[in-house]
Amino acid sequence: MSSADPLLIYLPPYSTESAQVAPQLPLFCHRHPTAVVHYRWTGYPPVEDGSATETPESEGFYTPLHWPTPLHDTLQAYSWILENLMPPFYTRRDVYVYGSYLGASLATSLTLTETHPHQRMGIRGCITFNGIYNWTMFLPDHPINKLPRTRSVNIPEKILTRSLDPTFLGFKQQAGMLFEKPESLFDPFASPCLFFHTPGIHVPQSFTERAQGIPASKLPVEDTALELLLAAEPSKKSHLKFPPTESTLKIPEILLIHSGPPPLAPSLQRRQQRRKKEYRRNGFRTQAEELAGLMRHSIHEYELKDRKQWDEDLQDLKTRGEEAMRRVQVYYVGPHHQIPQLPSDGDQFAEAWLENRLSRWRRREV
């Protein structure tokens, strides 16, 4: 292999420091040079005797292992990769990022903020598996957590509110350890969906309670304005233009792989099928589809709409839609499984997706 061969960056499903067994490298990565980023992020998987929340540094300084430490580790690792693995002279080198679970959130934010097509060496695409792309969807105030008012009383609560799988539920339960403060969930680097739209909800005081105004009787007179601010309705969710107009960033090609929930018992399946409208719940599927829709909207409404003025191939609205769908793909690999590794079906699809893009590089090098 030469220094110009495409490079993969792998972000594991969780911090290897807090894991008893390090996650294995996905099979589709074995054929390519791969750099593994061992970021630090305490809180998942949960440890019975309590995992360390900080790590000692020099001169008695301790680095907290909650957010944003994993982001800093990832950005520092990427900078090192660019400085030390850049090919010589004018040769280009493509980089593709893969991350799963916690690593998927990091992989997505890294890709969205570091895809500069003009750079000799840089990120060209990303593959993720079962990522959390909007952590604010775990908060009680988020609209997705409000039960439909018209639901039939004979539909069991477990159908409407059950977690899509134990791993997803684990992330919700460990959010306090992972982020420490609720406002960290609103960081777009943690919740990449928030690059594309405003949150639409207030920042709560805890991870499990709704945002509430402080009673005026408990506030000093000079804090009346604060009480009014906290009690005010949050602004409605609205789209943001990302990447910014003057930026050299570009929405990358991305493959969002997700699994589904464990199957319901046959009796519950029949009762769910009688519902006229499916209740949209938070889960890995919802997270992937939410991000995909936002990225496609950005490509269709901003990037390609601007290019339409001078690119005759994009005059047809259907063509713009097809390009957005080609760039941002979602793939379902079946029900939840216990091992946090990419299942064989997903691995094969990821390998085909990656091979399709690397074939362009081979043609370019001929």
pLDDT at residue 216, as a whole number: 41
How many C-beta atoms surround the C-beta of residue 172 within 10 A?
17
Please say if the pLDDT value at position 127 is more than 50: yes
**Closest to 9 in 3D by CA, of 289, 354, 363, 356:** 354
Q: What share of the chain is helix, strand, coil (3-state, %, to 5)?
A: 40, 15, 45
pLDDT over threshold 80, residue 76: yes
**What CATH architecture is 7-135+238-365?**
3-Layer(aba) Sandwich (3.40)
214-263 per-position pLDDT tens digit: 444 444 555 545 454 445 567 788 999 999 999 999 999 999 999 988 77
pLDDT the model gives residue 90: 85
pLDDT score recorded for residue 311: 66
- Helices 102-114 and 69-84: angle between axes, nearest 10 degrees: 50
Per-residue pLDDT band at 186 (split at 50, 70, 90)? very high
Q: List residues bridging with 128 in a β-sheet.
A: 99, 256
Tell me 127's DSSP state.
E
Q: How many whole angstroms separate alpha carbon 88 and alpha carbon 45? A: 41
Whether 159 shows a pLDDT value over 60: the answer reads no
The answer to whether 208 touches 225, Cβ cutoff 8 Å, is no
- Which whole-number Å values give the CA distances from 299 to 46, 53, 161, 268, in the listed order? 38, 40, 33, 40
Q: How far apart, in Å, are the Cα atoms of 323 and each of 152, 248, 255, 309?
A: 41, 19, 14, 16
As a whole number of angstroms, the distance between CA 327 and CA 254 comes to 6
- Exposed, middle or buried by CB within 10 Å (0-12, 13-18, 19+), for 182? buried
Kindly list the domain boundaries of the chain, sorted by start residue.
Answer: 7-135+238-365
- d(C-alpha 184, C-alpha 280), whole Å: 25
| Residue 290: predicted pLDDT | 98
Give the C-alpha separation, 12 to 101, whole Å: 8
Which tokens hold the place of 180?
Answer: 């420490």
C-alpha distances in Å from residue 200, one per residue of 52, 137, 172, 334: 34, 11, 20, 32
50 pLDDT more than 50: no
Distance CA 299, CA 323 (A): 8
- Mean of pLDDT over the chain: 84
pLDDT digits (tens, 9 = 90+) for 274-295: 555 566 789 999 999 999 999 9
Q: Which of 340, 218, 237 is nearest to 293 (CA)?
A: 237
pLDDT recorded at residue 184: 98
